[in-house]
Each structure stands twice: as C-alpha cells, then as structure tokens.
Amino acid sequence: MSQAVGSQAESWAIHFASDPSIALRCGVPGDELLVEPLYRGALADSMEVLLARGRQSRRRFVVLYSPDAEPFAADRVAQRSTAAAAALDGRLSMRIARPLLTGRLDGRSYCITPFLQSFAASGLFMRLQKARVRGAVLEWLYQVASRTCVQVRRDRLDAEYLRPLQAIAESPDFSADSRRAAEGAHTRVQNGRWHPAHCLMHGNLWWGNMMLRPQDARRRREPWGERLRFIDWGGSMTQGYPIYDLLRGAESLGLSARLTGEQLAGHCSVLRCQTEDARGYLFAALGATALEPGCFPRENLARLVDQMGLYIRGALAGRLN
C-alpha cells in the first residue's frame, strides 16, 4: 500500500494485505487496495473518511473509520442503512448507500461502501443541480412515507410523542412559538384528536448527504434521478418520525414555501392527519433529539428547533396563500 492515513499506514497495509477477501468482496479480486485520507470532522466523535482504490482496477470505494470516542460508529451506519433498505422494496431501496463489508482495525470498526460523487457545495452550479434532483428526492420521500407508515402503538405514545413534545413545550431554550406549537400537539395527542404514525426516517437529510452514483459507461444518458443516493444513515430509524426528513430536505433544496406546503399536505394525507399536525411531527422529532443523552450542544439544538419552526410556519402559510 503506497498511501494510507498518518500513523495508521502500517496497520491498514497489513490489514488489507493479510485479508484478500476484502478485495474480493469489493469486487476487485486479486487487486491491492490503496488508501488515502479524504476528511475528518472536528468533533471527537467524527468518523474518519478515507478513499480506497484498486491499484490495477482503479475502482474507488469509501471507507468510514470509527473514532476512538465511538469505536463502533461505522458498525451503526452499516447496520442502520441495511435495515432501512430492508424496509423498502427494490427500487426505493436503491437510493440507500449500503456497505459492501464491515471490519475491525485496531479495535475500531470500519465499513466500505461504493464511491459516490458529491454535488457542488455552493454557487450557480449547486442551484442547477438542486433543481435537477429535487423531484426525485421529493418523490422518494413521498413513497417512503406511503410504504412504511404505521400507527404508533398506544402504549408507545408517551415515550415517543408526549414526552418529546413536552421537552420542547416546557423548555425556555426555545421560542414562544415553538413551545406553543409543541404544547398544542401534545394536547391533540392526549385528547385523541391526533394519533401519530411511524415511518422510515433518515434523520439528517440535507444536501451534503445527497450524492450521485458514478455514471455507467454503458448508459451515458442515465437521468440523475436514477443515480441519486443518500448517505449517512447512522441516525436513521425504521420506525421514526414522519415529516422531519421532508422539511430538512425541502429546506436544504431551497424549495419555496408554497411548494413545501403542498408537499406537507400530500404527506399528511398519507399519514391521515390534519395539516396542522405536521408541526407536531416536527417538534416530536426534535424533542426526541433533546431527550437523547449526549445530544449536540443545547444552543445548536435551540437554533435548529426555532429555525425549523419558522420554516414550517412559512410553508403552511404559503399553502394557504
């Protein structure tokens, strides 16, 4: 191995050379995998992301390597992405970036996934790309809600909806509007006017987690919508909160308030709830995050809650205009 990651170079070289099944399972039998760093987040629990490629085939793969602070984080991504794909039929599950294999190196888990192309991060090109893929993103989200929607068991309402909504309604960290919306949703669950549902939830569906499968040389005019893939499934839930992914995705794609409102109405129809209950789904999802031990910094959460609260209020208002 000619390139690897800092002090891990020797470990990676020995590991890959001693286990030829890794190259075999990646579809490059007999080839040597070279590894080089791509990036690593600033937080202690950020995974290291590496680029692996075959020396002869030059096929590329991505390696997610768990940090010391969370040595099994890559396992979690692999397990949850596999579970998410299993919850969907073949065509819908193709959008989910799944691992080729998982393993251990120096006591930390890693998973290897196919290489995907990133979209532009800013500028005119990014806006053009968003316009090209937003239809495919929105259609996928609608189909996921339709196929995986199931009512929450009554004995789970307290843990999964009442307590999370209460966590928003009773905290001074959040705006008065957010607290009122959460309190109103809490009341609707209690009095039986709203009976929430579960559906498959990604949990962090923003532009940076949308990518493209590389162009197939045999199908050079393949639509981008066919190549669209979603990564970073570590926070996903097969029985998660509806609406949340739609709002995060719509905001990240720059959807107008009117179009977002129309999408919300469509999802609420699938969920068999009133459109106003979309806010309840949003704040329940955020409240569940607030109740998690080790949640990201409170000020960041407060910013997200109020930002998303304003976004959904504008979307619902835009639908009425």
**Percent of the chain with pLDDT strictly greater than 70:** 94
Output the pLDDT for position 20: 87
Reference 251, options 184, 191, 205; nearest CA is: 205
At 1, the pLDDT band (50, 70, 90 cuts) reads very low
Fold adopted by 6-115? Phosphorylase Kinase; domain 1 (3.30.200)
Q: What is the pLDDT of residues 97-119, one digit of tens each?
A: 999 999 999 999 999 999 999 99
Query: Is this structure's pTM higher than 0.85?
Result: yes
Q: What are the backbone dihedrals phi and psi of residue 12, each rounded to the nearest 5 degrees, phi first? A: -65, -45
Reference 136, options 39, 231, 212; nearest CA is: 212
Fold adopted by 118-320? Aminoglycoside 3'-phosphotransferase; Chain: A, domain 2 (3.90.1200)
Reference 57, options 10, 24, 92; nearest CA is: 24
Whether the CB-CB separation of 62 and 37 falls below 8 Å is answered with: no
Give the mean pLDDT of the chain: 91
Reference 168, options 261, 298, 311; nearest CA is: 298
At 13, the pLDDT band (50, 70, 90 cuts) reads confident
Q: What is the pLDDT of residues 237-285, one digit of tens each?
A: 999 999 999 999 999 999 999 999 999 999 999 999 999 999 999 999 9
Mean pLDDT over 298-319 rounds to 92
Q: What is the pLDDT of residues 124-169, one digit of tens each?
A: 999 999 999 999 999 999 999 999 999 999 999 999 999 999 999 9
Q: What is the pLDDT of residues 178-213, one digit of tens each?
A: 999 999 999 999 999 999 999 999 999 999 999 999
CA distance 189 to 175: 21
- List, in sequence order, the alpha helices (H) in 87-199: 90-93, 123-148, 157, 163-169, 176-190
**Percent of the chain with pLDDT strictly greater than 90:** 75
3-state secondary structure of 97: coil
At 5, the pLDDT band (50, 70, 90 cuts) reads very low
CA distance 310 to 306: 6
Mean pLDDT over 286-301 rounds to 88
For Cα atoms 210, 281, 146, give the angle at the middle one, nearest 5 degrees.
Answer: 65
Choose the weakest-confidence range: 56-60, 112-116, 142-146, 312-316.
Answer: 56-60
Whether the CB-CB separation of 267 and 243 falls below 8 Å is answered with: yes
Other CB atoms closer than 10 Å to residue 245's CB: what's the count? Answer: 27
At 2, the pLDDT band (50, 70, 90 cuts) reads very low
Report the run of H or E that residue 304 belongs to, with start and end.
Answer: helix 298-320
At 90, the pLDDT band (50, 70, 90 cuts) reads confident
Domain boundaries, given as residue ranges, for the chain: 6-115, 118-320
Reference 150, options 196, 82, 93, 85; nearest CA is: 196
Output the pLDDT for position 321: 52
Output the pLDDT for position 294: 73
Q: Is the pLDDT of residue 18 over 90?
A: no
- Rg over alpha carbons for the chain, rounded to the nearest Å, is 21
